[in-house]
Chains A and B, each alone.
Chain A
Amino acid sequence: MISLDFDHADFHSLLKDLAARLGTVMHKDVLRVPPALGKGYLRAIRLPNGLSVMVTNMSMDVDVKLHRLKKMPAFYILAFDEIFIRTRLEHKIDNEKVSINPPIYSVAALHSTLFDTTVIATRGCIISSVRIIFDHRWLARYFGIDKEDELLVKYISLKSKKLTLEPLDTDYRMYIEEIYNTDVEDPLYYTILENRVMLLIERFMNRIMDKMDEAELKNLKPDDVFRMMEVEAELTKDNVMEPPTVQELSQQFGISQTRLKTMFKEVYGYPIYEYFQRFRMEKARAMLLSGEHSVKETGYQLGYKSLSNFAKAFRQIFEYAPSDIIKALKNV
């Protein structure tokens, strides 16, 4: 097992130490995982607005244990993680432990250095993650949230619930994918990254404050949330076929239909079918915006036999027609 204890307040120095631990060096901002240990990279980025960001895309052939030490004054790490788990993933905050079972952990969470935090990922995990570090001064300046702000303290101290889970949905994933898909050589690289990171933070803050207000997720245990993540993964496995019905999902996951419907909506904010439609239409929009597919192709590829049904479904989500995108692209 590779293990590292650290308390860095920026990702460049963290990666430097991790590189040394892995017996390699960083090239510019990038740490490549040595072939003996796995595949992929970790990249540290300093944004123009001062934020330190780390973008990770890797798979590990060894067990890894990362241990962030308690540190004062506290700073925060906002993590958007999508991890495919082969055998086990473990989170420990101070002495409280959560084990997360395969197949997937797909969560946005705010951590703080008020506590010791340990992550253990067993070999075979595939990790995509965007992580952002900031301190309370930054939070105060950008979001008008003070250190003593009740909400945030409340959120952070929810460690009794082990993790406060905000599952990644298609909106989060869209921003995250744009971060992965932007070429480092693009002259606008930093602008694009900064904008996506800011939108991720904005959305996260809005969502957790929503939850605090309504004490939402009150009746959900972490295990329930993890189960809903599996349901979501199943639901969005394929955007061409008709989605599995609530009945099928309920059988597959061994949850009653009523409970499944309530829990899914509490975790993802939409009823199951509407969530699937949003996911499918986001794909449609991305295809159209690429300029490589006609409305007809897009509709067929997403499993629509009738184009007018496709157009109607599209309009329901975005309030404009698929053909509007084609027209707009022509004007550019």
Chain B
Amino acid sequence: MFEFTFNISEREKILDHLADELNIKVEDDQLQIPPGLGKGYIRREKLPNKLESLIFNFTLEDDFWLNRKKSDKEYYVFVCQEIEHDGKLITEVDKSKVEVRDTHVSQMYLVSFLSDLRQFTPVGSVVKGIRVIISPEWLSGHLRIDRMEDVLQRYLQLKARSVHMKEMDMESRQLLQEIMDPPQDLHTDIHIFLQNRITMILENFFSWLHQHMGEERGRGISKSDINRMLEVENLLLNDLALAPSLDTLAKSAAVSVTKLKTQFRQVYGLPPYEYFQQHRMLRAKELLLKTDLPVNKIGAELGYRNMSNFILAFRKVFHINPGELRSKSFQKS
């Protein structure tokens, strides 16, 4: 296992630090991943508009842990990447953690420098994408901060929960493809080509952020409210076989049941029980696709004593019976 720890305060030198750890040198702003750790490159791009970006494309021959220590600067890092793997990806932002088992991941997300970030990528992973450091100046020039600040704060408070990693849209995927593999017959400077595509991806991400965390959601909700809902959410999903009652949740957060319901919905977009159900069924789907457990065992594991209730609940979310889903995926492979 290779573990790389760094401080955000030295962000200009991240690539050099990594090179030092690996006993190699950065040449022409590019680091070649050495044999043993993997194959491929990480490249630093100096863009005309001063956005600092890394472009990477590599295959890992070892497990990789990345630890980024928080700083007191209000910068952000934006990540847009595709990963193919057959283990599990782990992302931890401060104390909140998410594991992804989907073998093909294409995601976009934003993390603040004010948080600790730990990421695990397993051996065999094929990773390609971009990382862009975004300054408060860039944000205030490009977004109407009076209307986006709340949205941004809300998003960052939600930390690592997978729901807040945005699946890449088709256009962004295409743009990323162009960044990884630019046309040969370009007449203009390659940097302008890369910059234009990187800023288009940023536009796509921030539009999504605005639409999904925008005005109608969570207007007038404070930072401490969000933190409280974050704890409620943790408790709610603690055991997918048994949903805690609204009373229990309200007590844990020291708010009234009415307030709990409103605020939870403001932050997560769904009432608590529906949110619980959705995660429960996502787990069911995962077990169906990734294990050989019989359908009734999966139902039982998720707290269903009555199989037809399980099937009904599953249908409600995915519009298909659990058994059908499994035989379909079986046919595919």
A residues apposed to B, CB below 8 Å: 48-49, 141-144, 187-192, 194-195, 198-199, 202, 205-206, 209-210, 213, 320, 324-325, 328, 331-332
Majority-rule SS of A interface residues? helix
Asked if B203 and A192 sit within 8 Å, CB to CB, the answer is yes
Asked if A209 and B188 sit within 8 Å, CB to CB, the answer is yes
Asked if B192 and A198 sit within 8 Å, CB to CB, the answer is yes
Tell me the minimal C-beta distance from A69 to chain B in angstroms: 30
Q: Which of A143, A194, A195 has the most CB of B within 10 A?
A: A195
Contact pick for A195, options B144, B186, B189, B199, CB 8 Å: B199
Majority-rule SS of B interface residues? helix
Cβ contacts under 8 Å, A189 to chain B:
144
Cβ contacts under 8 Å, B208 to chain A:
332
Asked if A325 and B170 sit within 8 Å, CB to CB, the answer is yes
Asked if A194 and B142 sit within 8 Å, CB to CB, the answer is yes
Is B265's beta carbon under 8 Å from chain A? no
Interchain CA distance A141-B203 in the complex, whole Å: 23
Tell me the minimal C-beta distance from A183 to chain B in angstroms: 12
Is B187's beta carbon under 8 Å from chain A? yes
30 A-B pairs, CB-CB below 8 angstroms?
A48-B138, A141-B48, A142-B48, A143-B188, A143-B189, A144-B189, A187-B210, A188-B142, A188-B144, A188-B206, A189-B144, A190-B141, A190-B142, A191-B142, A191-B199, A191-B203, A191-B206, A192-B203, A195-B200, A195-B203, A198-B192, A198-B199, A199-B196, A202-B193, A202-B196, A206-B186, A206-B187, A206-B188, A209-B187, A325-B170
Cβ contacts under 8 Å, B147 to chain A:
187
Supplied contacts A48-B141, A48-B142, 18 more A-B pairs, CB within 8 Å: A143-B192, A144-B188, A144-B191, A187-B148, A187-B210, A188-B207, A190-B143, A191-B142, A191-B206, A195-B199, A198-B195, A198-B199, A199-B196, A199-B200, A206-B186, A206-B187, A210-B187, A331-B167
Tell me the minimal C-beta distance from B167 to chain A in angstroms: 6
Asked if B196 and A142 sit within 8 Å, CB to CB, the answer is no
Is B202's beta carbon under 8 Å from chain A? yes
Cβ contacts under 8 Å, B20 to chain A:
none
Interchain CA distance A331-B199 in the complex, whole Å: 22
Interchain CA distance A195-B203 in the complex, whole Å: 8
Asked if B200 and A328 sit within 8 Å, CB to CB, the answer is no
Interchain CA distance A320-B173 in the complex, whole Å: 12
Tell me the minimal C-beta distance from B166 to chain A in angstroms: 8
Cβ contacts under 8 Å, A331 to chain B:
167
Interchain CA distance A327-B213 in the complex, whole Å: 22
Cβ contacts under 8 Å, A49 to chain B:
49
Which of chain A's residues has its CB closest to B138's CB? A48
Cβ contacts under 8 Å, B191 to chain A:
144
Which of chain A's residues has its CB closest to B196's CB? A198
Which of chain A's residues has its CB closest to B190's CB? A144
Interchain CA distance A198-B198 in the complex, whole Å: 12
Cβ contacts under 8 Å, B206 to chain A:
188, 191
Given contacts A48-B142, A328-B170, contact A142 B200 (CB under 8 A): no
Cβ contacts under 8 Å, A210 to chain B:
187
Interchain CA distance A195-B207 in the complex, whole Å: 13
Is B169's beta carbon under 8 Å from chain A? yes
Cβ contacts under 8 Å, B49 to chain A:
49
